[in-house]
Chains A and B, each alone.
Chain A
Amino acid sequence: MMDIIRVLVTGLLRRWYDNLRNLLTGTRPPAGAAGLTVLCPIINDSDGNQSHVMALRQHLQDLPLHENSPMAAVPNTYLCRFYILNDVFYQGAPAEEEHLKSKYLVYSTNFHGDLDSYLSGMWEHAQESIRQVWRHCVAFENVRTTADFVAYMKKCQVRNHLFFNGSTGDPLNRQLKSLYLKQEFSRFVYDHQNTPPEDLQRAFQAFIARTQPGNPDSPTWVAGADTESIKT
């Protein structure tokens, strides 16, 4: 109990201090990893010869995977998913049985940066794919601009009560560059066991020139690639 009180008191004091310091110095805390959860109601009507929900489910299931996924084009997307919430689950007696009046497209994404920049980037880099998905959702026909899309997504946003980051909060290009370097350096180490000092130094200098550790954008891994695709 004393531990909990200690965490509460020190935690609140620390948070107030951080907020006050940021206010006085005009600084903003650095952006890291964040999570977005949106529930978009699906149109309860037909789309040609099938329902919107069926058409949407089929469309999502047919989307290309990995680096060909439309989400690979959206900057700073770590991991994201789509699923369809058809209804809520009845838990059995004595729980009450209840049902949703709409079906929802659930979009859940883990990304780097602030929400407005992320959503703007999503619209600007994957607009056509987004239209193909969200055209099945209520009121999406009114979305025409980046600002409309950001506002629409925020209307559908639900609050995350706990976001757990078990990875790093680095920008995606840095994460991909680090993975590329880890892979390349691991190979270098395996290939240069028992290499004489002079040859080793020369080989290492060539390795650094080739892999450019200080350049986060090139050469690096391609976002979403499930094989070793390297972007130069």
Chain B
Amino acid sequence: MSNIAGKAYAMNVVTPAKWYWVWVNKLFFWFVQLPGGAAYLKGLLTLSLIHYARWAIVSPKEFPHLDESQPKEKLKYSYMFFFSNFNGSWDQYVDSFHAAIPQGLDLFWFKNVKYPKSVPLQPFHAYITYNQIWTSHYYSAYPLATSNDIKSARHLTRELRAFSESSARADPLEFHEAYQRLLRDVQQDISIMERTPIVSLSAQAVEQRLDQADAERADQ
């Protein structure tokens, strides 16, 4: 069990909300997806530590029912499922959002049952901790990379390809000048990606347990 895959952390939070309030949540989620409404998500973009995040509101009737052998759910609340893939530790993530976009968080979890609001910090921490579910298996296609690495890699690749084409017939001095200009333009994209430092002892323990199991299998 690990919430960590390389530099990404998987957060799962499930919280109840009364059916007549979830319409407000749904309306807000719909609103911010309109062209122009994305400005209200600016705080999320500015923090830039999220790969992808998602909110899904499931009413009692929407829990999948596949077979007569499966009893139908009889619930009074709707449930909001939150999934996030972010870089850094749990504390860094929760504290950043608490500090940077407290009003945004209060809109996302508007009127969820016993939601304490994002300020002050300790009750908010307690609410997320209480409602968080641990991940059983987490996979990232690029454990060495952060969300910022992916965005900067895209920019660097575009610039590099353009430079490669435009400098193909340059003489050495022209090439050198253009190369220096390229470096000036992509300096913020140049860095070596390494394995992440240990941010969780439990994640380290999981890797050690699986490595040990692999070694035992290899010995047999």
B140 proximity list for chain A (CB < 8 A): 66, 78-79, 224
Most chain A CB within 10 A, of B48, B77, B136, is at B136
A95 near B16: Cβ-Cβ < 8 Å: yes
Q: Looking at the assembled complex, report how far the CB atom of B127 sits from the nearest CB atom of chain A, in whole angstroms.
A: 9
Q: How far is the CB of B41 from chain A (nearest CB, A)?
A: 6
Number of interface residues of A (CB under 8 A): 98
Known contacts A62-B213, A88-B16; is-contact A158 B64 (Cβ 8 Å): yes
Inter-chain contact B141/A159, CB cutoff 8 Å: no
Q: Within 8 Å of chain A (Cβ to Cβ): is B185?
A: no
Whether, in the assembled complex, B113 has its beta carbon less than 8 Å from a beta carbon of chain A, the answer is yes
Chain A 164-178, CB-CB to B under 8 Å as 1, else 0, gives 111110101011111
CB–CB A172/B141 < 8 A: yes
Question: Which residue of the partner chain, among A11, A79, A162, contacts B35 with CB atoms under 8 Å?
Answer: A11
**B96 to chain A: closest CB distance in Å?**
13
Given contacts A91-B16, A156-B64, contact A189 B190 (CB under 8 A): yes
> Could you say which of B1, B35, B52, B81 contacts A78, with CB atoms under 8 Å apart?
B52
Q: B14 touching A226 by the CB < 8 A rule?
A: no
B43 to chain A, nearest CB (A): 11
Contact yes or no, A228 B5, CB < 8 A = no
B32 proximity list for chain A (CB < 8 A): 162
Nearest CB in chain B to that of A214: its residue: B161
Contact A166 B144 (CB under 8 A): no
The answer, yes or no, to whether A221 is at the interface (CB within 8 Å) is: yes
- Give Cα distance in the complex from A76 to B114, angstroms: 38
Measured in the bound complex, the distance between the Cα atoms of B60 and A36 in whole Å is: 19
Q: B213 near A167 (CB under 8 angstroms)?
A: no
* New A-B pairs, 4, CB < 8 Å, besides A62-B213, A160-B56, A166-B52: A7-B36, A161-B56, A176-B141, A179-B149
29 inter-chain pairs at a CB distance below 8 angstroms, sorted by A residue, are A7-B34, A7-B37, A7-B39, A37-B81, A65-B2, A66-B140, A69-B139, A72-B139, A72-B141, A79-B10, A79-B52, A84-B133, A89-B16, A91-B113, A108-B83, A138-B67, A156-B64, A166-B44, A166-B50, A175-B153, A179-B149, A179-B193, A182-B190, A183-B192, A197-B173, A200-B175, A200-B179, A224-B141, A228-B144
